[in-house]
Each structure stands twice: as structure tokens, then as C-alpha cells.
Amino acid sequence: MGVEVLTRADHHEIRITGMDRVWGLRTSVTIPFSLLDEVRVMTVGEATRGVWLRTGGLAFPRRARVGHFRGRPRKRQYWRWWGSPRVVVIDLKSGGRFDRVVLDVDDPETTAQQLRLPLVPHPQGR
């Protein structure tokens, strides 16, 4: 797959690999934990609602979206999708480069769970 998700001390790093680096105009996307709003698995049909303009990258209808897109209500979006029916959708709070990141990965449920970990409240213990 053309994406690798790494969890660091205070952020997730989404590394883009292969030719997706060229098509998507990025080598990585950094998501600070403080900007995470919601992480979920959606169908591509649900995720594409409101996406209306490619602002840099590659798009083939019903086959691929890699790069920068504009949409409503999440205006600035980064997509890395190559035809899978389900994607991981990361909605972000304002203040970052993107409002939404959409990823096509081998195991969407496991990846979403990994990305959700900073959202889970941890008990304050010793």
C-alpha cells in the first residue's frame, strides 16, 4: 500500500510512499493529537459527499483520488484513495493544514483504532 501510519509522542505521521508521493504532492502528513476531532471508517460514497474541487493531485472518477481537494463542510482535504470501498476518515479541528484526511489502507478498522488512541481518555494514575 502507498501509506504508512506512525504514532509518535504527540502526533501521527502519515507517510506517503511510492508514486503516491508524486501524484499527491506530499511525502507525509503530520496530525498533532491536539487537532484530532474524529476518526472513523466510512464508505467512499459517504466520504466523497461535498468534495467538489481537486486543487492539486490526481483524480480518476470512481477509481482514484490522491492529493489536495476542497469540499463542504470540511474545506481542505487530503485524499489517498485507490478504489477500496471503505476508507479511514480523519476529521481535524481548525488550525492545521487540512480539515480532513482520507486514507485507503489494507485494514481500515485497525488503522482507525490506532489513530483513535489519543482520543481515548486515560485515567490519571501513578
Question: How far is the C-alpha of 22 from the C-alpha of 36, rounded, in Å?
Answer: 26
How many separate domains does the chain show? Answer: 1
Give domain status of residue 111, yes or no.
Answer: yes
Give domain status of residue 41, yes or no.
Answer: yes
pLDDT tens-digit map of 85-108: 999 999 999 989 999 999 999 999
Give domain status of residue 126, yes or no.
Answer: no
pLDDT score of 119: 75
pLDDT score of 74: 80
Give domain status of residue 90, yes or no.
Answer: yes
Tell me if 108 sits within 8 A of 83, measured CB to CB. no
Other CB atoms within 10 Å distance of the CB of residue 69: 24
Other CB atoms within 10 Å distance of the CB of residue 103: 24
Find, among 95, 91, 1, the residue nearest to 39 by Cα: 91
pLDDT score of 1: 60
Preceding amide of 123 cis, omega within 30 = no
Give domain status of residue 125, yes or no.
Answer: no
Question: How far is the C-alpha of 40 from the C-alpha of 28, rounded, in Å?
Answer: 20
Chain-centroid distance, C-alpha 3:
10
Domain carrying residue 14 = 3-119
Give domain status of residue 89, yes or no.
Answer: yes
Give domain status of residue 124, yes or no.
Answer: no
pLDDT tens-digit map of 21-70: 999 999 999 999 999 999 999 999 999 998 989 999 999 988 999 999 99
Average predicted confidence (pLDDT) for the chain: 92
Q: Is the pLDDT of residue 126 over 70?
A: no
Tell me if 61 sits within 8 A of 43, measured CB to CB. no
